Structure 1
Amino acid sequence: MSNNEDFDMQSNHDGEEEWLSKTEVKRQMHALQELGARLTKLNQEQLNKLDLSDKLRSAIDEFHRIKANGAQKRHLQFIGKIMRTEDADEIEHAIGLFEAGHQAHTQVFHKLELWRDRLINEGNSALQEYVSENPTADVQHLRQLIRNAQKELKLEKPPASARKLFKYLRDVADV
């Protein structure tokens, strides 16, 4: 087959060959390149948990050393090419788990921020509701933190006590 033809052959899971259009081949290559780009956004600890080939891992490390934008784009294409030999489904699944964990972590922090704001603005009614949801919380300590944060807010001082309150809420939530 020549490079100018509009179809390419690919083996499926049953060992049979199926014909893919040039557009479909390009679509698959772009998807692999995008997956490779998502890999470059993971930290070292997450990358270590993945079963990546040495070639792909060194290409990802090299990507982080490149500073020129055009060179990074070309290197992403190279990473996409290497991705053809990797188990893309397994990598996609692992990245999805990392991203889901990050979203859950973010949701917990947003909830704690809402509690902090409610405790400072609503006082005792919010405190009673918070303690009913978190019976291990030290009510005396919470009241002191809330009073200090309210005083800071009234005097328009930096929110040091509000940060302490947030830290305590985070400790109670064990995040």
Structure 2
Amino acid sequence: MRGRDDESGEFRGPSRSQQRREALGVLELAHALVELTPAELARVPVPEETLSHVEDTRRITSNVARKRQFAFLAKQMRKLDEQELQAIRDALDEKSDASRAEVAAIHRVEAWRIKLVDDGDDALAELLAMHPDADRQRLRQLVRNAQDDKKRGKPPRAFRELFRELRALMLGGADDADPEDADAGLDDADE
């Protein structure tokens, strides 16, 4: 029971409202875990027994059953100690911060690609002023090929290659997968 301590007059434990807020926080954490891809989930320090419940929840598609499974998953997660829950929260926060930064960087590369194709040599001169170590001749050739492909209505191979070159130049080529490559097979199949 909650009650008050006879000696100090303070409450013995958290209020029911506080307990409910904590339980809802764990439920939100459970939803976040289920939404992760398997590769992202592998990077989060989730205990093995909880991981199996996450996988079970992911497989269920019926709304009522899924809601019940989420409640069960949250109940199992509330059995974890606060340090384990905090480690999961920290990993998810790092993932979301890193993801936002990665998306912003990709958007900057994409903006430069479009600027280069639209503005040509003026934009290229501006880019080369910012990155003097860039391969001027390769970039100029890729820009011209991309412009030519666009005029002729050809598949955007040079456009994608320009993106890869700009990403390597601006981001150091640290990304594993090219977001454009996912659509590359569709564009190549049109030939």
Residue in 2 that maps onto 1:25: 19
- What does 1:1-175 correspond to in 2, within 5 Å? 17-21=12-16, 23-86=17-80, 87-172=84-169, 173=171, 174-175=173-174
Aligned partners of 1:131 and 1:137 also within 8 Å:
yes
Residue 158 (structure 1) shift: 3.2
Residue 94 (structure 1) shift: 1.0
- Secondary structure of 2:36's match? coil
With normalisation by structure 2, the TM-score equals 0.76
Residue in 2 that maps onto 1:4: none
Distance 1:83 1:108 in 2: 35
Residue in 2 that maps onto 1:12: none
Query: Which amino acid counterpart does residue 106 of structure 2 have in structure 1?
Result: F
- CA displacement 1:12-32 (0-9 Å, x = unmatched): xxxx832403x3322221111
Identical columns (%): 31
- Secondary structure of 1:18's match? coil
With normalisation by structure 1, the TM-score equals 0.82
Residue 44 (structure 1) shift: 2.9
Aligned partners of 2:3 and 2:12 also within 8 Å:
no
Aligned partners of 1:153 and 1:159 also within 8 Å:
yes
Query: Which amino acid counterpart does residue 41 of structure 2 have in structure 1?
Result: L
Greater strand proportion: 1
Aligned partners of 1:8 and 1:25 also within 8 Å:
no
Aligned partners of 1:50 and 1:91 also within 8 Å:
yes
